Chain A
Amino acid sequence: MTAVAAHTDHHDDHHHAPHGLKRWLFSTNHKDIGTLYLWFSFAMFMVGGLMALVIRAELMYPGLQVVDPEFFNQMTTVHGLVMVFGAVMPATVGLANWMIPLMIGAPDMALPRMNNWSFWILPFAFTILISSVLMSAFGEGNPSAPNFGWTFYAPLSTKYGPASTDLFILSVHMMGISSIMGAINVIVTVLNMRAPGMTMMKMPLFVWTWLITAFLLVAVMPVLAGAVTMMLTDRHFGTSFFNAAGGGDPVLFQHIFWFFGHPEVYIMILPSFGIVSAIIPTFARKHLFGYASMVYATASIALLSFVVWAHHMFTVGMPLAGTLFFMYMTMLISVPTGVKVFNWVATMWRGSLTFELPMKWALAFVVLFTCGGLSGLMLAMTPVDFQYHDTYFVVAHFHYVLVSGAIFSIFAAAYYWLPKWSGVMPNKFLGELHFWNSLLSVNLLFFPMHFVGLAGMPRRYADYALQFADYNYWVSIGAFWFGLSQLIFVLVCVLCAMKKGEKAPAAPWEGAEGLEWTVPSPAPFHTFDTPPVVK
C-alpha cells in the first residue's frame, strides 16, 4: 500500500444521530452493523459451544450417561448448523462490514439499508432454529429438534424428519437470504466504491478474499435454497425429488447439497486467508510475498471449489471414472492453497518479527490450518477415504481447519482490529491467557480424534466401542478446557467495549499499512466522507 492523503472526519456534528435501541435496530452504518454481526456471532459461538459440550460430556465415558441418543443426534445437528451458519459466517461478514469500506476508502457499504436487513434477519432465523432445541429439551412431549446432521441428507430429513424440520427449512431460507444480500453488498461496494487510485491490484488481500467469497456466496447459497425447497415439497407437496418410491433418488440430494456444501467451506475459510495476509506482513514488517500470486491462488481455489463436491460422496456407489475425477481435482486444490502457505512463510523470511497477540493467532492459524489441510489431502484419496469416511478422522480434519483455522483467524482479526473498533488496546495479559489456553486445549481436543478415527470410531454416534475410551476422555477434557478459555475472550471484549484499557493510537501496530490505520481509534461514526487519494 502506498502513501495516502487521509481526511479525518469531524464526529461532533451528530447531535441528531440516533441513540439507544433505535441506533442498533435501524442502523445503516457499516461499523455498527459490523459490531452487531460480531456480537451476534460470538453469542452463537457460545450457544454452539454449549451443544458441543453436551456432546463431549456424553462421549467422555463409554456408555450412555448424560443424554439419550435421540437428543445426542439433535445436539450434533444443531451444533453444526449454529457454528457454520451462526458463528463463522456472521463473524466473517461482520469483519467485512467493519473493514472493507475502511480499507478501500469508501464512506459506507453500497447498500446500507439492505445491510441492516441482512443482519436483522439472523436473530429471527436462529430464534426459530434454537427454539426447536429448547422445545426438545423442555417442551411438552419433547418434540425432536432437527436430528439428521447439519448435512440433512434425504430421505432421513424428508421422509423421517421430525416436525421441526419445516422450521429448520424456514430458518435456512432466512439465513440464505441474509448471506446472499450481504454478498451482493460486498461485491457492489468493492467493484464500484474504491477510492480513486485504488486499482484492484492495490486492494488489501482481505478485500480480495472477501470479494471472491462474495461471488461464491451468490453462486451457491441459492443452490442450498433450492435443496431445502425440494425437501419441503417432498415432505408436504407430493414431489419425489429424493424419494425412490416415486422415481426420485436419495443420491441426487447429496449431489445438490454438496454442490453448495463444498464451496460453502471455502466461503468459511477464504476470509481467514485474507485476515492472515493482513496480519503477517504487519508483524514481519515486510510486504506480503507474492501479492499477485495470492490473488490468483485465491481465485483458483474458488473456481476449483465448484468441481470437487463429490469427494464428500466417495462411498455412495460412484463409478471409478467419477471418483478418479473428483480425487484428482481435490488433490489439485492443495496446490494453490500450498502457494498461499508458502507465501506467508516467505513473507516472514528475513522479516523483522515480533509476536504480539494478532501475530500469535495468525501463526497458529498457518501451522494448524496446514495440519488440517494435510488430513484433507489424506481424505482426498478415494481408496483410503473408504476407510476414513464417516469416522472421527473426518471430524478431526474439519475441526482443525474450522476451529484452529477459521475461528483462530477471527480471534486474530479481533485482537488486530479491536484497537480500531474500540479505541483501547485489548488487555494483554488476558489475551495471552486466552491464546495459550486455546492453543493447547484445541490440540488436546482435536488431535486424538485423528487416531480414534483411523482406528474406526464412527462419527455422529452417541457411544463407542471400549477401545476408544481413553482418547475420548482426553478429548472431552480438551473440550471443556477450550470452552472455558473462550470465557477469557468474553472478558477481553467486554473490557474493550467499556473502553477499559490502554488508549490506542490511530496506528497501534508499527508495521501496519492500509487506509484503516489512517483514521482515528476508535474509528469515527463516519469516515472517508471525502475519498482519500491513493497513490
Chain B
Amino acid sequence: MSEQGLEQRNQRTVRKLVLGAIAMFGFAFAMVPIYDVLCDITGLNGKTSSTAADGVVELDEDRLITVQFVTVASEGMPWDFKPQVRSVKVHPGEITQVNFTVRNPADSTIIGQAIPSVTPGLAAPHLLKTQCFCFNNQTLAAGGEAEMPMIFYLDPALPKHINTITLSYTMFDVTERVMANEDKLAAR
C-alpha cells in the first residue's frame, strides 16, 4: 500500500463525504418546500388554499356539516376581531357567506394579515373559499372598523366521518413587514 495511493484514496473519500455533508445542508432547506408540498397534498397542517376557488360544484343535500369559527388576535396585535356568527350548518356544495368584523383601537394605522387553520386537518383541502379577507393584507386606520366577508363552500368529497369543522383565524400585525417591503421597492 503506497503512501501516495493512500493519500489519493483518502482525498477521494474526503471529497465524497464533504459533498454528502453539503448535500444534507441543502436537504435541510429542501425540507421547507417538501413540507409545503406534502401539507398541500394531504392537508395535514390544516392550511387552506390561499387562492380563490371557482365555486363550481354539486350540492349534497343529504349531509349537514357544522362549521365553527374561532378568531384570535396574535400577541401584540390590538385589533378586535370577531365573526358575526359563531357557527353555520351547511351542505357540501352550498356556497355560504360569513362576515367578520375588525376594529383597530390603537392610535396608528395597522396592517393585518389573517392566517387560517382548519381542524380536523383532513378537512382542510375540502374547505374552499371563493373570497376571503385572508387572501390579502387588511389596512385599518386608527380607530377604523371594517366588515370583512368570507365566502366558502365544502366540496362534496369531504370524508364521510367529518361532521364538524373548525376554522380558526389568527390576525397578525404585519405593518412593519409590509412597510419594509415597500421601502425596498421604492428604493429600486
A binding-site residues for B, Cβ under 8 Å? 110-111, 180, 183-184, 187-188, 191-193, 196, 218-227, 230, 238, 241, 244-247, 249, 251-252, 255-256, 259, 317-319, 322
User: Is there an interface contact between A184 and B177, defined as CB atoms closer than 8 Å?
Assistant: no
Q: What residue in chain A is nearest B8 (Cβ atoms)?
A: A192
CA–CA, A111 and B173, complex, Å: 52
CB distance from A443 to the nearest CB of B (A): 39
Q: Which residues of A sit under 8 angstroms from B39, Cβ to Cβ?
A: 249
Tell me the total A-B contact number using a CB cutoff of 8 A: 101
* B45 at interface, CB cutoff 8 A: yes
Q: Which residues of B sit under 8 angstroms from A188, Cβ to Cβ?
A: 10, 13-14, 17
User: Is there an interface contact between B21 and A245, defined as CB atoms closer than 8 Å?
Assistant: no
User: Is there an interface contact between A227 and B1, defined as CB atoms closer than 8 Å?
Assistant: no
Chain B residues within 8 Å of chain A by Cβ, number: 41
CB distance from A225 to the nearest CB of B (A): 6
CB distance from B113 to the nearest CB of A (A): 6
User: Is there an interface contact between A180 and B31, defined as CB atoms closer than 8 Å?
Assistant: no
User: Is there an interface contact between B28 and A222, defined as CB atoms closer than 8 Å?
Assistant: yes
User: Is there an interface contact between A191 and B32, defined as CB atoms closer than 8 Å?
Assistant: no
Name B's interface SS: helix
Can you pick out 9 interface pairs between chain A and chain B where the beta carbons lie within 8 Å of each other? Answer: A110-B14, A193-B10, A219-B24, A222-B24, A245-B113, A245-B115, A247-B115, A317-B46, A319-B120
Q: Which residues of B sit under 8 angstroms from A249, Cβ to Cβ?
A: 35, 39, 45, 47
* Residues A193 and B35 in contact in the complex (CB < 8 Å), given A222-B22, A322-B44: no
Interface string of B74-87 (1 = CB under 8 A from A): 10000000000000
User: Is there an interface contact between B28 and A225, defined as CB atoms closer than 8 Å?
Assistant: yes
User: Is there an interface contact between A192 and B9, defined as CB atoms closer than 8 Å?
Assistant: yes
CA–CA, A184 and B29, complex, Å: 22
B binding-site residues for A, Cβ under 8 Å? 1, 6, 9-10, 13-14, 17-18, 20-29, 31-32, 35, 39, 42, 44-47, 50, 74, 113, 115, 119-122, 170, 172-174, 177, 180
Q: Which residues of A sit under 8 angstroms from B180, Cβ to Cβ?
A: 238
Q: What residue in chain A is nearest B47 (Cβ atoms)?
A: A249
Q: Which residues of A sit under 8 angstroms from B113, Cβ to Cβ?
A: 245
Q: Which residues of A sit under 8 angstroms from B6, Cβ to Cβ?
A: 192-193
CB distance from A53 to the nearest CB of B (A): 34
Q: Which residues of B sit under 8 angstroms from A218, Cβ to Cβ?
A: 17, 20-21, 24
CB distance from B137 to the nearest CB of A (A): 10
Q: Which residues of A sit under 8 angstroms from B32, Cβ to Cβ?
A: 230, 241, 252
Partner of B21, one of A192, A221, A241, A244: A221
Partner of A187, one of B13, B121, B170, B173: B13
CA–CA, A218 and B25, complex, Å: 10
Q: Which residues of B sit under 8 angstroms from A224, Cβ to Cβ?
A: 28
Q: Which residues of B sit under 8 angstroms from A221, Cβ to Cβ?
A: 21, 24
CA–CA, A252 and B180, complex, Å: 25
Q: Which residues of A sit under 8 angstroms from B47, Cβ to Cβ?
A: 249
CA–CA, A320 and B188, complex, Å: 49
Q: What residue in chain B is nearest A251 (Cβ atoms)?
A: B45
CB distance from A274 to the nearest CB of B (A): 20
User: Is there an interface contact between A244 and B170, defined as CB atoms closer than 8 Å?
Assistant: yes
Partner of B29, one of A110, A230, A319: A230
User: Is there an interface contact between B31 and A256, defined as CB atoms closer than 8 Å?
Assistant: yes
CA–CA, A227 and B31, complex, Å: 10
CA–CA, A180 and B18, complex, Å: 9
User: Is there an interface contact between A319 and B44, defined as CB atoms closer than 8 Å?
Assistant: yes
User: Is there an interface contact between A245 and B177, defined as CB atoms closer than 8 Å?
Assistant: yes
CA–CA, A259 and B27, complex, Å: 11
Q: What residue in chain B is nearest A241 (Cβ atoms)?
A: B32
Q: Which residues of A sit under 8 angstroms from B173, Cβ to Cβ?
A: 245
Q: Which residues of B sit under 8 angstroms from A247, Cβ to Cβ?
A: 50, 115
User: Is there an interface contact between A244 and B25, defined as CB atoms closer than 8 Å?
Assistant: no
User: Is there an interface contact between B28 and A226, defined as CB atoms closer than 8 Å?
Assistant: yes
CA–CA, A244 and B116, complex, Å: 10
